[in-house]
Amino acid sequence: MVSNKNSIKIHDHFNVTHPSSETHLSIPLTFFDLFWLRFHPVERIYFYSFPSQHTDPSFFYNQIVPKLKTSLSLTLQHFLPLAGKIVWPSDSEKPIIQYNPGDVGVSLVIAESDANFNHILDNSLPHEASESRSFVPHLESSDSSASAISIQITLFPNSGFCIGISAHHAVLDGKSSTLFIKAWASLCQKSEESSSLVQELEPLFDREVIKDPKGLDTFFTNHWKTISSMLNPSDTNNNKTLTILSTAFPPKVEDSLRATFELTRSDLDKIKKKVLSKWDTTIVDEVESNNSTHYPKPHALSTFVATCAYVTVCIAKAFEESEKKKQKVWFGFTVDCRTRLEPQVPDNYFGNCVCGHVTDAKSEDFTKEDGLVIVAKKIYSKIKKIDKGVLDGIENLFSTYKSLMGKNVIGIGVAGSNRFSVYGTNFGWGNPTKVEITSVDRGITIGMTESKNEKGGVEVGLVLNKNVMGFFHILFHAGLSQN
């Protein structure tokens, strides 16, 4: 385990925007965006090792930082809303994203850490969960406005650097976030100050592609107003506050460890084979036994289903072992709706286009003898239902989540995707040596990325109580070693 006794030193703080832009922008928030209005930011860190010939800190300060800063400014020409803010005009029923010439732009912090870089990169060792927090920038929010993103670049002398991103979830989802980072990396690699992007990296901000016949934007907006009224009954701003509810989603880092686990392609094949071999002989509940929700055995199982089923079962069993009692467990995940809507939303749509869903798995399913098979079948069944109507029940999401909260309840979620290709994010000094979704520490959340080491594998990032992490480590590896 790595000690958290390291210090961080702030060297500089810039506000980066595109200097030649005279464009005024005003972009509405769709119901997909408004659902996340006061949720915690999504935080991700990209770690890069120095090329062997450039380990001197002067290379970082004289070459890397200026190039990253200049290319960030050029990138914002294409992603100008990120240099703006979320605001809630007094004459508007709903908040908007707004950019005006002269706005301060994106906060960029340059820092230096004395943490042991090699230990941070070592996935075989868990780390104090709080350690990564010093590499993630603060995202500003207040009653009147909220920043879209903030960035921190941290030097580890003679070893490498990292880029920490804090992104407002009401402005961009995971797919949009990685689109921005890839565009920034693409422009940073160019030798000249060119601002041209290849077509697939050009963002689409047209909100007209999102249809809202049910008026869900008003529904979610009113929900947040109700929350604001409950939290602050004396509010005089008509409950139009944009402050992120950090106290509702604080990083749970005390007495906790952060670790990355890998599922190789071989591991995943083994999990899929085990699930499919018992598919027809494992009854998940009385309802399925009457064939009312039964789906035929699939020819193949997706990596997403296999990963989520295996990891959630290990988490549930680890908590049970640690607490020495039964726990209530539920599992929820978000689905990219771009290809599931009618008409379909373009792949480069920039904003939120994800919808949350909760599986029908019962608490006891996760720790049964055939829990892996049962949970995998439940996740698969939920996805099949989603394919028929991805927005079915979306108006009940807040009440659904509220009904699941409580003491001795373990809610497990998922962040990221193994389809984002984050390990291909090269700014000009090589691919990342590690990518971490830091904000998984705000709940029991599976941080999912593709494997750095092999095509078809998956990396899973987790933050758990130290005792629970110990049991999870044993269960995770023991399950993979079984024939």
Q: Tell me the per-residue pLDDT of 316-356, one tens digit each, with 9 for 90 and over.
A: 999 999 988 888 999 999 999 999 999 999 999 999 999 99
What's the rounded Cα separation, in Å, for the pair 188 and 169?
25
- Among 312, 361, 345, 36, which residue's Cα sits nearest to residue 167? 36
What's the rounded Cα separation, in Å, for the pair 417 and 302?
13
Assess if residue 249 is contained within a domain. Answer: no
pLDDT computed for residue 5 by the predictor = 57
Assess if residue 134 is contained within a domain. Answer: yes
Place 285 in a pLDDT band, splitting at 50, 70 and 90. low
Place 4 in a pLDDT band, splitting at 50, 70 and 90. very low
Which residue, chain included where needed, has tokens 């010093």?
134
Work out the angle at residue 446's Cα, subtended by the Cα atoms of residues 442 and 451, and round it to the nearest 5 degrees.
130
Identify the DSSP state of 64.
I
Assess if residue 2 is contained within a domain. Answer: no
Q: Which domain holds residue 315?
A: 256-481
pLDDT computed for residue 430 by the predictor = 95
Q: Which SS3 state, helix, strand or coil, does residue 97 take? A: strand
Do 176 and 266 fall within a single domain? no
Do 227 and 281 fall within a single domain? no
Q: Tell me the per-residue pLDDT of 395-427, one tens digit each, with 9 for 90 and over.
A: 999 999 988 988 889 999 999 999 999 999 999
Do 183 and 276 fall within a single domain? no
Q: Tell me the per-residue pLDDT of 34-78, one tens digit each, with 9 for 90 and over.
A: 999 999 999 999 999 998 777 788 999 999 999 999 999 999 999
Do 105 and 46 touch, CB atoms closer than 8 A? Answer: no
Do 205 and 288 fall within a single domain? no
Count of structural domains, the chain: 2
Residues facing residue 414 across a β-bridge:
446
Structural domain ending residue among the three candidates 182, 214, 231: 231
Do 74 and 187 touch, CB atoms closer than 8 A? Answer: yes
Q: Which SS3 state, helix, strand or coil, does residue 357 take? A: strand
**Whole-model pTM?**
0.95
Do 307 and 387 fall within a single domain? yes
The residue ranges of DSSP E strands in 232-327, in sequence order, are 256-263
Do 301 and 209 fall within a single domain? no
Do 378 and 288 touch, CB atoms closer than 8 A? Answer: no
pLDDT computed for residue 2 by the predictor = 39
* pLDDT over 60 at 363, yes or no: yes
Do 141 and 270 fall within a single domain? no
Assess if residue 236 is contained within a domain. Answer: no
Structural domain ending residue among the three candidates 197, 231, 265: 231
Do 422 and 432 touch, CB atoms closer than 8 A? Answer: yes
pLDDT computed for residue 288 by the predictor = 45
Do 191 and 278 fall within a single domain? no
Assess if residue 428 is contained within a domain. Answer: yes
pLDDT computed for residue 289 by the predictor = 40
Do 175 and 217 fall within a single domain? yes
Do 183 and 290 fall within a single domain? no
pLDDT computed for residue 325 by the predictor = 83
Q: Tell me the per-residue pLDDT of 78-134, one tens digit each, with 9 for 90 and over.
A: 999 999 999 999 999 999 999 998 888 999 999 999 999 999 999 988 999 999 999
Q: What are the tokens at 175?
A: 């797919």
CATH number, position 462:
3.30.559.10
Assess if residue 251 is contained within a domain. Answer: no
Do 165 and 263 fall within a single domain? no
Do 134 and 209 fall within a single domain? yes
Assess if residue 221 is contained within a domain. Answer: yes
Assess if residue 247 is contained within a domain. Answer: no
* pLDDT over 90 at 247, yes or no: no
